Amino acid sequence: MKKSIFISGAAQGIGAAIARLFYQQGYKVGIYDINQSQAQILADQLGPHAKAGLLDVANYEQWQTALHEFVAWAGELNILVNNAGILYSGDFEKIAINDHYRTIDINVKGVLNGCHAALPFLKKANFARVINLSSASAIYGQADLVSYSASKFAVRGITEGLDTEWKKYGIRVLDVMPLFVQTAMVKDMDAGSIQNMGVDLTPQDVAEQVLALAQAKGNILTTTHRPVGFKTKVMFTLSSISPQFLNRLSNIYLSRKA
C-alpha cells in the first residue's frame, strides 16, 4: 500500500511544492487548504493519487472532518505536515491587534489542532511522522516580525515536546526551519532582516528537506530540528554557543532597515 501524506495550506507555495514532490515519490497526497478550489486545481494536475479538500486550520471541527475523509480515501495517515501559516510584518504597534491574533490562530492553534486531531489516525498507522513548518525566526525573536516569530517559537516548543512525549507511540515529531523562502508570503515584507539576509530559498528547497525527514531511517539519530539553507544552519549553530548578549547584538544588526 502506498504511504500517505496530509498537508495543510497545500494549495500554493511551500505546501504545493511538498505535494508535488511526494506525489512524484509515489505517495497518496492530501492537499488541504482554506482555498479549496485552488487545492482542487493542483490535485487535478497531479493525478488520481491526490485528493483536495477544505481546511481552515484554526477550526478543530474542520480538521476532524478533513482527516476522517482523507483516511477513508487513503487507507491510513503516515505523514502529517503542518504547513499552513501567515505572516504580518512591520512595526509592532502598526499591525492591527486582530492581525496579531490571526497569526496565533493559524500558526499556533493550527498546529495544535492538527496534531491533536491527527493522533488517533497516526497511532493506527504502521509508520507515522509529523513534520511542522517552523522558521529561522524561531532561533531568536525578530524585530518587525514579532507575532510571527513568537508563533514559530511556539511551533518549535510543540515539536520538541511532542517529539519526546509521542516516543511511547513510535511517532517522531520534527520540524524544518527555513529562512525566507520565495513565496507570496514574503512579497512586500517590511522587515530589516529580509533586506539584510535576502531571499535565497525556494519552496522546492524546503520540500526536499521535508522529504528527507519523512524518509530518514533510524529514529534515534534523526534530529528534531532541520535548519534549511546555509545561512539558517550557521545561525542555528551560533545561537546555541554564543553568549546571549552577542545573539541580541547580531539580531539588532540584522534587523536594521535601509
Beta-bridge mates of residue 181: 201
Sign of CA dihedral 127, 181, 114, 146: positive
Asked if 148 is an active-site residue, the reply is: yes
Q: Which of 152, 167, 168, 257 is catalytic?
A: 152
Distance of alpha carbon 12 from alpha carbon 35, whole angstroms = 9
Grid cell, residue 89, equals 510584518
Q: Are 190 and 241 in contact (CB under 8 A)?
A: no
For the question of residue 152 being annotated catalytic, the response is: yes
Q: Of 148, 169, 231, 257, which is the active-site residue?
A: 148
Collapse the DSSP code of 17 into the 3-class scheme (helix H, G, I; strand E, B; otherwise coil) and give the result: helix
Q: Evaluate whether 131 touches 113 at the Cβ level (below 8 Å).
A: no
Please answer whether residues 112 and 158 qualify as being in contact, where contact means their C-beta atoms are separated by less than 8 angstroms: yes
CA dist., res. 20 & res. 85, Å (int): 19
Rounded CA-CA distance 65/29 in Å is 17
> Which residues lie across from 30 on neighbouring strands?
6, 51
**Among the listed residues 24, 54, 21, 25, the one whose alpha carbon sits nearest the alpha carbon of residue 38:** 54
Report the catalytic residues. 148, 152
